[in-house]
Amino acid sequence: MSTFVIVGGGLAGAKTVEALRDQGHDGDLVLIGDEQLPPYERPPLSKSYLAGDSPFDDAVVHPEDWYAEQNVDLRLGTRVTALRPADHVVEVGGDELHYDKLLLATGSQPRHLPGDDDLLHFRRRGDSEAVRDRFGQGRMVIVGGGWIGLEVAATARGAGTEVTVLEAAELPLLSALGPELAQDFAALHRDHDVDLRLGVKVDELRKDGVRLADGTTIDAATVLVAVGARPDTDLAESAGLAVDNGVVTDERLRTSDPDVYAAGDVASSHNPLLGHHLRVEHWANALNGGPAAAAAYRATGRTPAPHPVLSPAFDVPHLHRIVFRDHPVEVQPVDRARVQDPAYRSQRAEAARFNLNWLSATGTAILLAALALRLGGGYAGVRREPSHG
The identity of residue 241, as a single letter, is: L
Examine residue 83 and tell whether it contacts ligand FAD (CB under 6 A). Answer: no
Q: What does the per-residue mask of binding to ligand FAD show for 229-248, with x meaning CB under 6 A?
A: ---x--x-------------
CA atoms within 13 A on the CB side of 325: 10
Q: Does 306 bind ligand FAD (CB under 6 A)?
A: no
Positive or negative, the CA dihedral 34, 38, 43, 46 is negative
Does 89 participate in binding ligand FAD (rule CB under 6 A)?
no
Of the candidate spans 104-112, 189-197, 364-372, 378-386, the one that interacts with ligand FAD by CB under 6 A turns out to be 104-112
Piece of 53-61, 278-286, 301-309, 361-369 that binds ligand FAD (CB under 6 A): 278-286
Give the total of residues touching ligand FAD (CB under 6 A): 37
CA 238/CA 246 separation, integer angstroms: 13
DSSP, collapsed to helix, strand or coil, labels residue 104 as strand
Stretch that binds ligand FAD, among 135-143, 201-209, 280-288, 354-362 (CB under 6 A): 280-288
Rounded Cα distance, 179 and 220, in Å: 29
DSSP codes of every residue in 35-93: SSSPPB-SGGGGTHHHHT-S-GGGGBSS-HHHHHHTTEEEE-S--EEEEEGGGTEEEET
Q: What is the DSSP letter of 112?
A: -
184 binds ligand FAD (CB under 6 A): no
For ligand FAD, which residue of 38, 158, 264, 312 counts as binding (CB under 6 A)?
264
**Does residue 148 interact with ligand FAD by CB under 6 A?**
yes
Q: Scan residues 319-348 and list those touching ligand FAD (CB under 6 A).
A: 319-320
Find out whether 306 and 291 touch, Cβ atoms under 8 Å: no
Q: Which of 10-18, 138-146, 181-189, 377-385 is the region at the interface with ligand FAD (rule: CB under 6 A)?
A: 10-18
The answer to whether the beta carbons of residues 304 and 285 sit under 8 Å apart is no
Cβ 103 vs Cβ 90: under 8 Å: no
State the nearest-atom distance from the C-beta of 131 to ligand FAD, in Å.
Answer: 10
CB 153 within 8 A of CB 144: no
Which range touches ligand FAD (CB under 6 A), out of 9-17, 64-72, 136-144, 354-362?
Answer: 9-17
- Residue in 4, 5, 6, 8 binding ligand FAD, rule: CB under 6 A: 8
Work out which of 4, 5, 6, 10 binds ligand FAD, going by CB under 6 A.
10
Q: Map the footprint of ligand FAD across residues 189-228, applying CB under 6 A.
A: none
Sheet with 209-212, strands from edge to edge, namely 202-206, 209-212, 217-219
C-alpha of 195 from chain center: 26
**Which stretch of DSSP H or E encloses residue 267?**
strand 267-271
Q: Could you tell me the smallest distance in angstroms from the CB atom of residue 157 to ligand FAD? A: 17
Binding-site member from 107, 145, 146, 149 for ligand FAD (CB under 6 A)? 107
Per CB under 6 A, 251 contacts ligand FAD: no
- Scanning 106-114, 133-141, 175-183, 349-357 for contacts with ligand FAD by CB under 6 A, the matching segment is 106-114
Q: Which span (11-19, 154-162, 251-259, 373-381) binds ligand FAD, by CB under 6 A?
A: 11-19
Which residues fall within 8 angstroms of residue 334, CB to CB, at 6 or more apart?
A: 348, 359, 367, 370, 371, 372
Applying CB under 6 A, which of residues 20, 140, 225, 286 lies at the interface with ligand FAD?
286
Residue 262: name the closest of 238, 230, 294, 284 by CA.
Answer: 294
Question: Which of 34, 100, 180, 259 is close enough to bind ligand FAD by CB under 6 A?
Answer: 34
183: which DSSP letter? Answer: H
Smallest gap, in angstroms, from Cβ of residue 280 to ligand FAD? Answer: 8
Bridge partners, 346 (sequence order): none
Q: Which of 132, 139, 307, 318 binds ligand FAD (CB under 6 A)?
A: 318
Binding residues (CB under 6 A) for ligand FAD: these are 7-13, 32-35, 42-43, 45-46, 79-80, 105-108, 122-123, 148, 232, 235, 264-265, 281-284, 286, 317-320
